[in-house]
Structure 1
Amino acid sequence: MAVNLTKGQKISLEKEAGGALRQVTMGLGWDAVKKGGLFGFGGSQVQIDLDASCVMFDESNQPLDVVWFRQLRSKDGSIVHTGDNRTGAGDGDDEQIVVDLANVPPQVKSLVFTVNSFTGQSFAQVQNAFCRIFNNADQREIARYDLSVQGPHTAQIMAKVYRHNGEWKMHAIGENGNGRTFDQLMPQITPHL
């Protein structure tokens, strides 16, 4: 049974998964709010392009690499973005970032996952947004975090996956921000490292 995280909550991924983790996937899903129509029927959906990114940081909190829609693979190959979804259409994960925990270089201390509205719409136009992390070995969901705090923000720092005493942990950050790409969130990310 997956843990439903609340803002600020920290968990041990390995304890929640019931053992050592080799490879996990961070999934991001969302739907655009329907516009118009009578009583919610017949309305059209606005296309919203949310983008998931993963920034890799070292012990001194310096960014080492980033995986996002313009660079789908980390330079060391341990993190892979499965591709850009520009609409949020369909069920389940709209974007996924696969992390090979066993091969993340030892100098990487933390991975920060962000979501940005590349098309510039605010989260007031997004519903059912979530991020989740699952174990690739058995496809079992370990943790889920609901991002559906609707409002004027265009980005969110979702979560941090980090090494602590030899194990991987997850911190649900859930901090709203503004910016079309991860680099505009860097000043907001730094205090969470």
Structure 2
Amino acid sequence: MPISLSKGGNVSLTKQAPGLTAVNVGLGWDLRTTTGTEFDLDASAMVLDSTGKIITDQHFVFFNNLRTPDGGVEHTGDNKTGEGEGDDEVIKVNFGAMPDTAERVAFAVSIYDAETRSQNFGQVRNAYIRVVNQTDNSELARYDLSEDAATETAMVFGELYRNGAEWKFKAVGQGYASGLAGIATDFGVNL
């Protein structure tokens, strides 16, 4: 049975699914009526060390860098419209392939060219992040974002983190008015 989380809540994925080795992190959203301007949301992941900073710039996974050098995190591709049911973008995480220095993986969604297009997360509805066991496709955890983020152009939806031998998931829901660049800078990515 999947665990539905509130902002700040967390769950042990390892206890939910003993022997868990890999997950798919699905991110989804629907768009409210806008001016008709194309709306493109992009999922990204940052593999972080114990200081909360990116391990290397190659551990920032997004539409222009789909895979970490070790293969621990892989983006399955950019969905430029958000149309259709289910996950709009998926990022795969293989716990065994991650470097020993990896302590967290933060998952963000940003609006491409938001400032030019006058778009923000206040125009996005039904946004969520979910964690799915790759072995049997069972949903382990889900966080439905409910905040009205009228000034934010990017958000950290959630994060996987290591706690001893366990991997856990935390619902974050932290908005940024500075877009993906603001998130990347906060996590130590060299832009």
TM-score (norm 2): 0.87
Residue 177 (structure 2) aligns with: 178
Residue 87 (structure 1) aligns with: 81
* SS of alignment partner, residue 106 of structure 2: strand
Residue 125 (structure 1) aligns with: 123
1:47 shift after superposition: 3.4
Distance 1:137 1:124, change over 3 A: same
1:130-188 deviation line (CA, Å, top 9, x unaligned): 1101001000000111124232111111112111111101111111112332x311465
Counterpart CA distance in 1 for 2:29 and 2:98 is: 28
The 5-angstrom pairing of residues 16-27 of structure 1 reads 16-17=16-17, 19-27=18-26
The 5-angstrom pairing of residues 59-74 of structure 1 reads 59-64=50-55, 65-74=59-68
Whether 2:151 is the aligned partner of 1:157: answer no
Residue 107 (structure 1) aligns with: 101
1:16 shift after superposition: 2.0
* SS of alignment partner, residue 115 of structure 1: strand
Contact in 2 for aligned 1:34/1:46 (Cα 8 Å): no
1:92 shift after superposition: 0.2
Distance 1:119 1:169, change over 3 A: same
Residue 13 (structure 2) aligns with: 13
* SS of alignment partner, residue 102 of structure 1: helix
Q: Which has the larger radius of gyration?
A: 1
1:46 shift after superposition: 5.2
Distance 1:187 1:80, change over 3 A: closer
* SS of alignment partner, residue 182 of structure 2: helix
1:119 shift after superposition: 3.2
* SS of alignment partner, residue 63 of structure 1: coil
Distance 1:187 1:71, change over 3 A: closer
Instruction: Indicate the RMSD between aligned Cα atoms, in angstroms.
Output: 1.8
**Which ranges in structure 1 are unaligned for 5 or more consecutive residues?**
36-43
* SS of alignment partner, residue 97 of structure 1: strand
More strand per residue: 1
Match among 49, 53, 66 for residue 44 of structure 2: 53
1:16-73 deviation line (CA, Å, top 9, x unaligned): 23x12111011011111135xxxxxxxx865321111110111233311111111001
1:102 shift after superposition: 1.6
Counterpart CA distance in 1 for 2:60 and 2:10 is: 23
Q: Match of 1:90, as an amino acid?
A: G
* SS of alignment partner, residue 46 of structure 2: strand
* SS of alignment partner, residue 108 of structure 1: coil
TM-score (norm 1): 0.86
Deviates more, 1:79-88 or 1:57-66: 57-66
